Chain A
Amino acid sequence: MDFIDYYKVLGIDKKATTDQIKKAYRKLARKYHPDLNPNDKQAEKSFKQVNEANEVLSDPEKRKKYDEYGKDWQHAEEFEKAKKSRAQGRQGDYSGYTYGSSGESAQDFSDFFESMFGGGSGFSSARQKVRFRGQDYNAQLQLSLMDVYTTQKQTLTVNGKNIRLTIPAGIEDGQTIKIKGHGGPGTQGGPAGDLYITFSIDNNTAFKRDGANLYKTVQIPLVKAVLGGEIQVETLTGKVKLKVAQGTDSGTKVKLKGKGFPKYKKEGQFGDLYLTYVVKIPKNLTQEQKSLFQSLEKTNLE
């Protein structure tokens, strides 16, 4: 756990007045507020730091304690040890996905803060007003490309509640789906918040994916490229035989209709698989093969 210089976070002097603190906080909050920086994790982190600094420095009692404690930080190890048992992770990590709350949440304090002032409870922060609609939750779910080749049903546990989830085949990397009413509970009859799940799709296959279309480069032997013939190609669902036309150039593209990825929310429909042929030039020739090429050369073949 590191010491946090809250004055530095707000960019102010140790002698700053309450007004200067407020001004500095407002300035930075406008810069990093999550509502103004959608999908920006760095801004969210900065916003939390700025909030934490303001939480301490705008409260005369906390500021006093911080100023005294801050001076002795290097000698405060014992204090730290005693408090360590209180510092616990605030973000759950359940079977490969993490969740956190979004929106105005500023309740996520650093270990340093918690060791000095305790957990988030007992705050009379102006930002923690009674809400009507429940808080939205964000979760990340990591899946492999083959996982999303088929529609899956999965049960997630978020905040102790089991949520049955259907993940449609063909979902995109980075796509977010909203599950209505599975966020935090509302107050005084207000509706519950929503749960947003963002998918992170790991592609560990030999195929590149763009939406429902797949792309792959296939090497074909020089002789087959010149004379034509049959080759075997691996698709996502197994091997297929393909005819290579006589005189196939490197860079030739072939489309295998319907051999791509499932189309999102269009059951039974698939994209296409695009193959790009690369002619493989043999490197290690036997003496006999070499002399055959030399004979070819003499025919002035171009």
Chain B
Amino acid sequence: MKKEKYISIKTFCEHHGVGESFVYSLYEYEILQLEHKENEGMLYMEDLPLLEKMVRLYNELDINPEGIQAIHHLLGQVESLQQEVASLKRKLNTLE
């Protein structure tokens, strides 16, 4: 399996049927990072799962980039709270 670190924004958008402006607005909202290589905007491969999630929210649920930024922030909070709850549950278990 070849391991490339980047994928061009153009390729990504062609595959997912979204405009490049969508990706740039997520960059603007600091949800993902971009690099410029040979005059072409590139995405980090490791950001793909996150970006694909954002595309789903955009395409399937009609959520605009502003809403996606808010969701991204809140999901981060939900996940850290879930981890905290799990660790508290384990602690509680030792007290029972």
Contacts and interface: CB of A to CB of B under 8 A. Distances in A.
Interface string B78-96: 1100100010001101101
B57 A173 contact: no
Interface stretch (A140-148, A190-198, A251-259): A190-198
Nearest to B57: A35
A132 B16 contact: yes
Contacts, number: 65
Nearest to A133: B48
B12 interface: yes
Q: Is the interface of B mostly helix, strand, loop or mixed?
A: helix
Contacts of A172: 90
A215 B96 CA distance: 11
Contacts of A120: none
B90 A133 contact: no
Nearest to B48: A133
B12 A33 contact: no
Nearest to A203: B93
Contacts of B53: 35, 103
28 contacts: A26-B62, A30-B61, A33-B60, A33-B61, A35-B56, A35-B57, A36-B75, A104-B56, A127-B60, A130-B15, A131-B15, A132-B11, A132-B12, A132-B15, A132-B16, A132-B48, A133-B52, A172-B90, A188-B15, A190-B15, A191-B1, A191-B45, A208-B93, A209-B94, A210-B90, A210-B94, A211-B90, A215-B94
Interface of B: 1, 11-12, 15-17, 45, 48-49, 52-53, 56-57, 60-63, 71, 75, 78-79, 82, 86, 90-91, 93-94, 96
